[in-house]
Amino acid sequence: MIFDLKTGKRRRVIQVVFGFLAFIFFISFVGFGIGSDVSGGIFDAIGLGGNNTSSDSGFDQQIEDAEEKLQTDPEDQRALIDVINYRLLAATESEDGVSFDQATGVAAVSEESRSDLVAALDAWQRYLDTQPKPVSADAAIDVVQINDLLFRAALGSGDASAALGAAEDAAAAGEIAAEDRKTVNDYATLANYLYIAGKVDAGDAAAEQALALSEESTSGQFEKTLEGFAKSGALLNKELERRIEQGDAEGAIEDPFGTLGGGAGAAPPATAP
């Protein structure tokens, strides 16, 4: 297990962490509306979409076309963005590619879908290596979603190092999106991941930006939400760091907070360019 639940004190800490995590995932990706409003992909994976898709994602041709362009020009930025987007779509549109525990927000990702997600992240790094100006905010949002999936999958498998790394990578991509779009949604999501990554000062700065952009009529409740991000992020970061230091990061999470679990939201799917 990633968390030791034998002591009452630690059990309560983890209850708080996962209670806030479930809330965070709902707020960050459903309430804040990252991505598009198009149904499918991840929504279908957790049974919230309209129709189930087959195991064939239907994006093989688009991926192949983009990869062929990259064989001719490895620095084709449009092709690299297409690889990122269509690999994410392929991973999440597959019927058995991604599944969620709606109580905890943790995810299970099939090997095939994980391969697509890893390939998308490789394309992202290759894209950044071309030094695009500006960096595509849409691609950055796709990368936030990819790392969100890998983060939650790592929690489910008990891999603390992978979870922390995915949170850090989500924050890095989230910063690009926030600086480009300057929306309350993007800054709040950025703050969430920065807190989980242990970057408290940067998280506070992003939270302040989000609060400044929020509507005055809801700013009081929103401020409490951001405080919840900081609290849960600090607790989770501390626990992940502890497990990494101990070198014991294997094993699935076993019902960390039982009846305290609420419905967790999921990142809306990417959309085809």
Q: Please indicate, yes or no, if residue 41 is contained in any of the structural domains.
A: yes
Instruction: Judge whether 131 lies within some domain.
Output: no
What does the pLDDT read at residue 31? 41
Number of compact structural domains in the chain: 1
State the residue range of the domain holding 205.
8-54+96-117+137-260
Q: Identify whether 216 is part of a domain.
A: yes
Nearest to 188 by CA among 155, 229, 152, 158: 229
Q: Is position 233 within any domain?
A: yes
Please give the angle made by the CA atoms of 160, 163 and 169, to the nearest 5 degrees: 140
Residue 51, token pair as written in the block:
């129709």
Q: What is the pLDDT of residue 273?
A: 59
- Residue 94, φ and ψ in degrees, nearest 5: -60, 135
271 within a domain of the structure (yes/no): no
83 is a domain residue: no
Does residue 195 belong to any structural domain of this protein?
yes
Q: How far is Cα 52 from Cα 122, in angstroms, rounded to an integer?
A: 28
Report the pLDDT value the prediction gives residue 57, as an integer from 0 to 100.
Answer: 53
Whether 87 maps to a domain, the answer reads no
- pLDDT tens string, the chain, 273 residues long: the values are 444 444 555 555 555 555 555 555 544 444 444 333 333 333 333 333 333 333 455 789 999 999 999 999 999 999 999 999 999 999 988 777 888 777 677 788 999 999 999 999 999 999 999 999 999 999 999 999 999 999 988 888 888 899 999 999 999 999 999 999 999 989 999 999 999 999 999 999 999 999 999 887 677 888 888 998 898 888 888 888 888 888 764 554 333 333 222 322 333 445 555
